[in-house]
Chain A
Amino acid sequence: MVDWIGKYGLSPMIYLIEVGLLGFLILRGHARRLISILLYLASLLALDGIARPYVWARYGLSSREYAYFFWVSDVALTLAAFVLVCALFRRACQHLEKRMWHDVRRLLTLVFFLVLGISYLVLSQNFKNLFSQFIIEFQQNLYFTCLVLITLLYVLMQKVEPVDDELTLLVSGMGIQFAGPAASLALLRLAPEEGIARFLATYVGPLCTLGMLLIWFYAVAQTPKSIAVHGLGRKDPELAEAVAREA
């Protein structure tokens, strides 16, 4: 029953929510404001929703081709999430001094290229030996690096005024997305033969993705937005008139 839900219930539900959230962002005019989220969702849908099922259908679930594609696309998605975290850092730094953002940007660029370089080197050296504990350890470390970055972002956000509720929810969604798989892969490394560790490693990832998507949906659809009015009276005389009337 659990296997059936995992195979035929969970994944289609995730794809549906991904499509729904993408549609919602575009149709409700959030696409420009949340372009980084939109691009990440698009890459998630393209790799996880389209490419993986295609490779599965073509080569079969237990084939080497599918396994290679699964793990390499997983690394690509984690790196895409890394870029998204950088974009969220940018948004969090909006209300801080410009100099601070410059410092953060430099640091993030350095960390990103470091992670990218190490990932490339380690993967290319072990590409023939991918189906071992190596890939589990590698992905666990990559997830954990992202989780540390997300937590740093969360700490930074606590110093920023005004509080951005939407950003907090977006970040906590990502926190759940990376904390769950990092923990389950670490458990799998510690107890590779245990059934429960294998079960958790299989299902925690998709469940956390589902949780992240639902939290993002809530963040975008429910959180009231604070609107900053710049140049009142110059750009929108009708709004200025309405505000004056209310006053």
Chain B
Amino acid sequence: MIVASLILIISTGLFFFYFQVTCQRILRRRFERDYFLSIVNANRLEFPAVRKALEDFDAPVDYPRVRMTLKCDYLALSYLLKNAANVDQRYTREERLLMLYFRVVFFFLGLRHALKLGEKSAIINLTAILQYFANVVGKRVTTVRFGNLAASDYLLSL
């Protein structure tokens, strides 16, 4: 019984560890340029400000506000991932995996807050996922052209 319990605990922990390693590898993908900037500006997303505040100024975390901000940005970006310049109008496999990863980290953010374990690393993780999504949307939007205008130019001109 003790051996089975140990195997259960260690294997479950390693399962989540390898899941995280996979997601982190996907997030390491380099884009040719910072496509996310135009998307952040056009949609007034707030995650870069949250990240900057935590990384550069080591500001204290206003948990309810940060949680709401990240959730709203996630909803906006997941909508854009599916609908902005996406001919198939569906998520790719890695997008689905990262969306699952976002939900898992978001759940653990709540847990860490409840247990007072510090939320900073989880929040930075979440902003990295959002930045990846914004980069993907930005790249797609830049690639698709409407007449002489790129979709990002169109969005910025609104």
Query: Which A residues form the contact surface with B (CB < 8 A)?
Result: 137, 140-141, 143-144, 147, 151, 154, 165, 168-169, 172-173, 175-176, 178-180, 182-183, 186-187, 189-190, 214-215, 218, 222
Contact = CB atoms under 8 A, between A and B. Distances in A.
B1 interface: yes
A186 B8 contact: yes
A173 B7 contact: no
B116 interface: no
Interface in B20-54: 21-22, 25-26, 28-29
The range of chain B's interface size is 20 to 34
Nearest to B15: A179
Contacts of B121: none
A143 B7 CA distance: 10
A175 B4 contact: no
Contacts of A182: 7, 11
Contact of A186 (B5, B14, B21): B5
14 contacts: A140-B4, A147-B14, A154-B21, A165-B25, A172-B25, A175-B21, A176-B19, A176-B22, A180-B15, A183-B8, A183-B12, A186-B8, A187-B8, A189-B4
B94 interface: yes
B25 A186 contact: no
Contacts of B15: 175-176, 179-180, 183
B65 interface: no
Contact of B11 (A179, A214, A215): A179
Contact of A172 (B22, B28, B93): B22
Contacts, number: 67
Given A165-B25, A169-B25, A190-B1, A176 B7 contact: no
B14 A173 contact: no
B18 interface: yes
Given A168-B25, A169-B22, A186-B5, 12 more contacts: A141-B7, A168-B21, A172-B19, A176-B19, A182-B7, A183-B12, A183-B15, A186-B4, A186-B8, A190-B4, A218-B26, A222-B29
**What's the dominant secondary structure at chain A's contact region?**
helix
A172 B21 contact: yes
**What's the dominant secondary structure at chain B's contact region?**
helix
A143 B93 CA distance: 27
B17 interface: yes
Which 3 pairs of residues, A with B, have the shortest CB-CB distance?
A175-B18, A179-B15, A183-B11
Which of A141, A154, A173, A182 has the most chain B CB atoms inside 10 A of its CB?
A182
B4 A176 contact: no
B48 to A, nearest CB: 25
Given A182-B7, A190-B5, A190-B8, A218 B18 contact: no
Contacts of A172: 18-19, 21-22, 25
Contacts of A189: 4
B19 to A, nearest CB: 6
A154 B18 CA distance: 10
Contacts of B1: 190
Nearest to A208: B15
A179 B22 contact: no
Contacts of A186: 4-5, 7-8, 11
Contacts of B28: 165
A54 B60 CA distance: 62
B7 A144 contact: yes
Contact of B93 (A165, A168, A187, A214): A214
B98 to A, nearest CB: 12
Contacts of A173: 18, 22
